[in-house]
């Protein structure tokens, strides 16, 4: 059976994206033809809205992107420091699909080139303490030099003694 199909759900070599292709569809396979020549063949996916992707059909940049994994990004962050690795892990956990957080993680890691590894680690530590695990937060901490300002130690506060204070014995 020969019929036209949408390119949105079938992978083709990237050079043929947006080209009109013919498809031969059987119960088990899909063949895509360009000017009568087979350019792709896949096992047919019966998953509604599912995609079939063949790495060889992707541009080189997209293939390189598929080599990234959440653990690879976390490990890279850990080479900078514990806080950086932890913040990257937090960034990735925010997304249902961790791949959606890759750009934020790569942007965060690239801040080490501009500001240095020690400053990035300090900024990530501050962001974690603030529970603000976002690329923008870390970038702003670095841009404003907040990581360079030493945190003031919290002084232990003591209430002054006076006549209006009651001790534990005043409560039953």
> DSSP letters along 41-65, please?
EEEPP-STT--B--GGGS-HHHHHH
Write down the pLDDT at residue 172.
62
Residues 107 and 97: their CA atoms lie apart, in Å, by 18
> Over the stretch 36-51, which tens digit does the pLDDT of each residue have?
888 777 777 777 766 6
110 pLDDT more than 60 = yes
Residue found by looking up tokens 């945190």 in the block:
151
> Over the stretch 10-30, which tens digit does the pLDDT of each residue have?
567 767 777 788 878 888 887
Residues 61 and 56: their CA atoms lie apart, in Å, by 12
Mention every residue, 6+ apart, whose C-beta is less than 8 A from residue 78.
84, 85
Write down the pLDDT at residue 95.
86
56 pLDDT more than 90 = no
Q: Where does the pLDDT of residue 150 fall: very low under 50, low under 70, confident under 90, or very high at 90 and above?
A: confident
């Amino acid at each position: 059976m020969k019929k036209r199909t949408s390119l949105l759900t079938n992978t083709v070599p990237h050079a043929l994206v947006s080209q009109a292709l013919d498809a031969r569809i059987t119960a088990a396979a899909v063949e895509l033809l360009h000017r009568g020549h087979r350019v792709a063949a896949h096992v047919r996916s019966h998953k509604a809205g599912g995609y079939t992707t063949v790495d060889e059909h992707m541009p080189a940049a997209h293939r390189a992107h598929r080599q990234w994994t959440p653990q690879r990004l976390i490990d890279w962050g850990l080479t900078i420091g514990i806080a950086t690795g932890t913040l990257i892990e937090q960034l990735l956990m925010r997304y249902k699909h961790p791949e959606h957080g890759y750009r934020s993680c790569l942007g965060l890691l690239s801040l080490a080139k501009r500001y240095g590894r020690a400053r990035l680690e300090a900024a990530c530590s501050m962001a974690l303490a603030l529970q603000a695990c976002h690329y923008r937060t870390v970038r702003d901490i670095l841009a404003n030099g907040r990581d360079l300002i030493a945190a003031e130690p919290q002084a232990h506060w003591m209430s002054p003694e006076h006549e209006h204070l009651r001790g534990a014995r005043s409560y039953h």
